[in-house]
């Protein structure tokens, strides 16, 4: 009787830590928004190909799928940018034996920073990193209970900004993330490689 109660309290405590991190991210974004009129501002969207690292995922769902995102960036200086993102990824697969359709939905909310290293004409090279709140849901056949949980993840990235016309830019980006979840006391590696392009406006 004692052990199940301890396990339950442990899970509640882990959820509280995750929610605390998520709240910190949201408060940071709201705080930064209050300074958006005084700082350089970037807004836009991204289209990327996302490859989940976990080998079990690859066996069930395949090599990867498209991830869509929206971003809001604050240029604190010409070289330094703070960034908030909301992303959406979904992939469909099938159960190994019965071949019934299942799906995985991943919704990372990210707070990060970028450092612009080199400016050559209309091209700017940058490196960056960050952390975020990764919520995920795996939809299973009706006789099973769906899996829904969340975890904290981290990433490192590099890329280039390309200024096409005044105020409009492209962002060619490559990113590697680590986001380990434990839905059944087994580690599921939901992070992986992401590569694609963003497009947006700067003010």
Ordered per-residue pLDDT tens for the chain, 203 residues: 444 445 544 554 555 555 565 556 555 555 555 444 446 899 999 999 999 999 888 888 888 999 999 999 998 888 899 999 999 999 998 887 787 899 999 999 999 999 999 999 899 999 999 999 999 999 988 888 888 899 999 999 999 999 988 899 999 999 999 999 887 677 889 999 999 999 999 98
With beta carbons less than 8 A apart as the criterion, state whether 76 and 42 touch: no
Alpha carbons 189 and 40: distance in angstroms, whole number: 36
The reported pLDDT for the residue numbered 5 is 42
Chain Cα centroid distance, residue 76: 22
Burial readout 139-174 (b: 16 or more C-beta within 10 A, e: otherwise): eeeeeeeebebbbbbbbebbbbbbeeeeeebbbebe
Which H helix or E strand runs over 4? helix 2-33
User: What would the two tokens of residue 181 be?
Assistant: 């979840």
SS3 (DSSP) at 142: coil
The reported pLDDT for the residue numbered 95 is 83
Domains and CATH numbers, the chain: 2-202 (2.40.160.20)
147 — phi, psi (to 5°)?
Answer: -100, 125
């Amino acid at each position: 009787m004692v052990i199940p109660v301890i396990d339950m309290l442990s899970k509640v405590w882990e959820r509280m830590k995750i929610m605390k991190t998520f709240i910190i991210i949201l408060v940071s974004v709201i705080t930064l928004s209050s300074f958006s009129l005084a700082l350089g501002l970037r807004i836009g969207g991204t289209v990327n190909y996302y490859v989940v690292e976990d080998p079990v995922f690859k066996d069930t769902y395949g090599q990867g799928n498209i991830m869509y995102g929206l971003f809001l960036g604050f240029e604190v200086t010409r070289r330094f940018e703070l960034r908030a993102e909301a992303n959406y990824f979904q992939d469909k697969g099938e159960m190994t034996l019965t071949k019934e359709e299942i799906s995985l939905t991943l919704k990372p909310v990210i707070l990060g920073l970028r450092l612009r290293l080199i400016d050559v004409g209309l091209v700017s090279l940058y490196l960056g990193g960050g952390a975020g709140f990764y919520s995920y849901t795996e939809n299973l056949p009706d006789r099973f209970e769906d899996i829904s949980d969340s975890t904290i993840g981290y990433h490192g990235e590099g890329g280039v900004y390309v200024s096409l016309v005044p105020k409009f830019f492209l962002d060619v980006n490559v990113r590697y993330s680590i986001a380990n979840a434990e839905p059944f006391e087994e580690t599921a590696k939901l992070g992986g490689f992401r590569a694609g392009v963003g497009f947006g406006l700067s003010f």
